[in-house]
Amino acid sequence: MTRLVPQYRRLPATAIAFLSDNLLATANGSTIDIYDVRLKTLVGSCNVFDSVRIHGIVARLCDADSRSIEVLVFGSKQWTVIRIHLDNARVEPGTVFYVDDWIKAGHWVQDDKQAWQVALALAHNQVLVMDSTHGNCIYNVQCAERCILYAAALYGDTLQTLVVAAGTVFNKVLVWDAWTKDTEAQVRVQLSGHEGVVFGVRFGKNGRRIMSTSDDRSVRVWNLDEKIAETVFYGHGARVWSCVEVDGDRLVSAAEDGTCRVWRNGETEDVWRLCPKNVWAVAAHRDGRMVAAACGDGAVCVWTVGGRQRIERMDELDTIALPGPEQALNWPDRDIDPGSDSKEREFIRGFALTWDSALVVTNHGHILRHSTLNNSWGVVAAKYGALSGYAMVAAESKAGNVAAIGMRDGTV
């Protein structure tokens, strides 16, 4: 996993989106930061709004030959379209436009002339289609169910196919067609089952299923044809904010407990603890493997799903025993047999992993190092009496050449 941290701003990262194969955009306060995930570095930055936190980043997919990309950015009651050049991550700011209600979702749609416009879902279950250049309203529609939304999602490439999924404060997801000749749009599908406020809604890639997250700590996958929750996931220890479909059978959710969970075939495949509290948003790369998360401590975490083997049974674990006295490790007076059944049997007091070894402190005051490369033990220090009763160990995991050991008397 790669952890990217802004050097100067440590506001919560609240929105995230992949722009290209290697560029990733994140929101830090009112600023857009652009990272190169291959170089693992910040390559561009631009302040978009004045004192308004960004809550959404939506990139418009351009032709393969295009060297720039248009990006919809919104937060509070403001929105704008910026242009990002893919060669050097240079950002061209756009005009900031205002609406009368909180924006819960943004989306790119084509009008009758095949020009790309901006669709916005608002907090009182209303959709506005705005001219992406001049900011004027082209079309608006109000849902007959005038409830307050905590989340929304839009799906469809044209005005005629635009569909809304609205997550309400009444624990429901309402699905309705935004294009209508009536004065109000009627709810087409009502999805019930959550036992708390719906905080996140997202369409699947084919538009036939919806993922929703809630105050009830669950992730639900809804089948729109059957109008039922085909899968319900529980596992997070707090409210779940967001969820994204990664590939055909994997989902990744982000929650208040500081974790992202990878779900596959109805159960947890992996858990990533990313920060102390609140992973606000998650995005999936178009390759169906890479995932990025926006964390409450300002960091951005990027990793590949399915890259870690899941342990199902105890016999799948590699077990490594402490070395016995028959192993010549060149230490003085080690007269206790770790394999004996006496009260003085040796055991591990402290433990830390580096990339190629394990550092161990035992109750006899020995500091040992086990190499995972050649499966051998070595002695760092022997009979260090102050470590016999208590030890806390931490090691630098990348280089593996720096370690810290805390002892009972408060010294390190």
pLDDT tens across 60-111, in order?
A: 976 656 789 999 999 999 999 999 998 899 999 999 999 999 999 999 999 9
pLDDT at res. 404: 87
Distance CA 328, CA 323 (A): 9
- Name the more confident of 89 and 9: 89
One-letter amino acid of 16: I
Helix ranges (H only) for 203-316 are none
Answering whether pTM is above 0.75, one says yes
- Strand arrangement of the beta sheet that strand 267-273 belongs to: 240-245, 250-255, 259-264, 267-273
One-letter amino acid of 24: L
Mean pLDDT confidence for 7-13: 79
Mean pLDDT confidence for 148-154: 97
pLDDT at res. 336: 44
pLDDT at res. 350: 85
pLDDT at res. 2: 86
Q: How far is CA 328 from the centre of its chain?
A: 48
Q: What end-to-end distance do the CA atoms of the chain give, in Å?
A: 29
Mean pLDDT confidence for 375-385: 80
Distance CA 154, CA 199 (A): 15
Q: Is pLDDT of 206 > 50?
A: yes
pLDDT at res. 341: 44
Distance CA 221, CA 233 (A): 9
Distance CA 151, CA 100 (A): 17
Distance CA 206, CA 224 (A): 11
Parallel, antiparallel or unpaired: strands 184-185 and 137-143 = parallel
Contacts of residue 341, Cβ cutoff 8 Å, sequence gap at least 6 = none
Contacts of residue 223, Cβ cutoff 8 Å, sequence gap at least 6 = 208, 209, 229, 230
| Cβ(1)–Cβ(291) below 8 Å | no
**Mean pLDDT of the chain, nearest integer:** 88
pLDDT at res. 383: 73
Residue 289: which of 269, 308, 304, 299 has the closest Cα?
304
pLDDT at res. 348: 85
Percent of the chain with pLDDT over 70: 90
pLDDT at res. 146: 93
Q: Supply 234's token pair.
A: 């529980």
Backbone angles phi, psi at 161, to 5 degrees: -110, 10
pLDDT at res. 342: 44
- Residue 334 pLDDT level (bands cut at 50, 70, 90): very low
Distance CA 156, CA 20 (A): 21
Q: Which helix (H) or strand (E) holds 354?
A: none
Q: HSE (CB half, 13 Å, CA atoms) of 254?
A: 32
Parallel, antiparallel or unpaired: strands 116-122 and 126-130 = antiparallel
Q: HSE (CB half, 13 Å, CA atoms) of 296?
A: 16
